[in-house]
Chains A and B, each alone.
Chain A
Amino acid sequence: EAQVTQNPRYLITVTGKKLTVTCSQNMNHEYMSWYRQDPGLGLRQIYYSMNVEVTDKGDVPEGYKVSRKEKRNFPLILESPSPNQTSLYFCASRRLITGELFFGEGSRLTVL
């Protein structure tokens, strides 16, 4: 089954405690991206990757890091989380021709 898997699904942490949200896809998609969803703002892109070792900033990259060492994995790293990073996070991979996004189930992060 084609899927994007992200973990953890829910996380409560404290300010400054580094965390990583993992993302893995099994569709051999080259393009992957991270979004955050906040009420009234829709989904905003944090980072994206067009292939292994190729990453670039989206619209709201501050406070986040990513890496793409393997095609299937695209982890999101919060080095020093702050309360304004409390949000619902989605990882997605993209079909090449149409650009349709396949989303993970979402990770709800709360930073206290």
Chain B
Amino acid sequence: AQKITQTQPGMFVQEKEAVTLDCTYDTSDQSYGLFWYKQPSSGEMIFLIYQGSYDEQNATEGRYSLNFQKARKSANLVISASQLGDSAMYFCAMRPNTGGFKTIFGAGTRLFVKA
């Protein structure tokens, strides 16, 4: 079954520190995409970062990086130098190549950044 697992319902991090949000995925596809989205308290969904399954280097976008470990089927999000505005819900998602072109989401991790 194709699935995304986020095992951390909530996390705290001190402002200016780095934090890692965990994500594991399950698929038998060889080609797939992995994503992270941010949902602030205002409710909108914001795309953060994308990693293709054939990409050899970890994706980076500003303070966000995706720690992609294909053999372990993990796609952790690393936020460096946390800011108060990073407090939000974060969703890991996968776009497999089979199964109807759906994007599958994890349950999310709520991040709290402390001043």
Among A40, A42, A58, A102, the most chain B Cβ lie within 10 Å of the Cβ of A42
* A41 adjacent to B95 (CB under 8 Å): no
Hey, which chain A residues are within 8 Å of B47, CB to CB?
Answer: 100-102
Determine the residue in chain A with the shortest Cβ distance to B50.
A98
* B107 adjacent to A101 (CB under 8 Å): no
Give min CB distance, A92 to chain B, whole Å: 8
Which A residues from 30 to 62 make CB contacts under 8 A with B? 31, 33, 35, 40-45, 48, 50, 56, 58-59
* B43 adjacent to A45 (CB under 8 Å): no
Residue from B4, B101, B103, B105 within 8 A of A50 (CB atoms): B101
Hey, which chain A residues are within 8 Å of B35, CB to CB?
Answer: 99-101
Chosen A-B contacts, 15 in total, with CB atoms closer than 8 Å, are A33-B103, A40-B107, A41-B107, A42-B91, A42-B107, A42-B108, A43-B105, A90-B45, A99-B35, A99-B50, A100-B50, A103-B37, A103-B44, A105-B43, A108-B43
